[in-house]
Amino acid sequence: MQLYNKLSAKEREALLEEAGEERLTLSFYKYAKIGNPHLFRNHLFVTWHEQDVLGRIYVAHEGINAQLSVPAKRFKEFKEFLDGINFLKDVRLNIAIEQDLKSFLKLKVKVRDKIVADGLNDETFDVTNKGVHVDAVAFNELIEDPDVVLVDMRNHYESEIGHFKNAITPDVDTFRDSLDIIEEDLRDHKEDKKLVMYCTGGIRCEKASAYYKHKGFKNVFQLEGGIIEYARQVENLGLENKFLGKNFVFDHRRGERITNDIISHCHQCGEPCDTHTNCANQACHLLFIQCEKCAVAMENCCSDDCIEIIHLPEEEQKRRRQGIPNSNKIFKKGRSEKLKFKK
Give the per-residue pLDDT at 199.
Answer: 95
Angle between helices 175-185 and 203-214 (to 10 degrees): 40
pLDDT in tens, 94-152: 988 877 778 899 999 999 999 988 777 777 878 778 999 999 999 999 999 999 999 99
pLDDT band of 332, cuts 50, 70, 90: low
pLDDT in tens, 52-94: 999 999 999 999 999 999 999 999 999 999 999 999 999 999 9
Half-sphere exposure (Cβ direction) of 213: Cα atoms closer than 13 Å: 20
CB 221 within 8 A of CB 142: yes
Quick one: which of 137, 175, 162, 171 has its CA closest to 227?
162
pLDDT band of 331, cuts 50, 70, 90: very low
Residue type at position 236: N
- Round to whole Å and give the CA distance between 326 and 285: 8
Give the per-residue pLDDT at 254.
Answer: 87
Q: How many other β-carbons are positioned within 10 Å of the β-carbon of residue 199?
A: 25
Contact partners, residue 294, CB within 8 Å, separation at least 6 = 266, 268, 269
pLDDT band of 328, cuts 50, 70, 90: very low
Cα pseudo-dihedral 257, 145, 132, 215, rounded to 10: 110
Q: Tell me the pTM.
A: 0.85
Which of the 8 DSSP states describes residue 19? H
Active site residue 199: yes
| Size of the chain, expressed as the number of residues it contains | 343
Look at 11-20, 108-117, 236-245, 291-300 and tell me which has the smallest mean pLDDT.
11-20
Q: What is the mean pLDDT of residues 263-282?
A: 95
Mean of the per-residue pLDDT values of the chain: 90
Q: What is the mean pLDDT of residues 48-55?
A: 94
The residue from 199, 205, 284, 302 that is catalytic is: 199
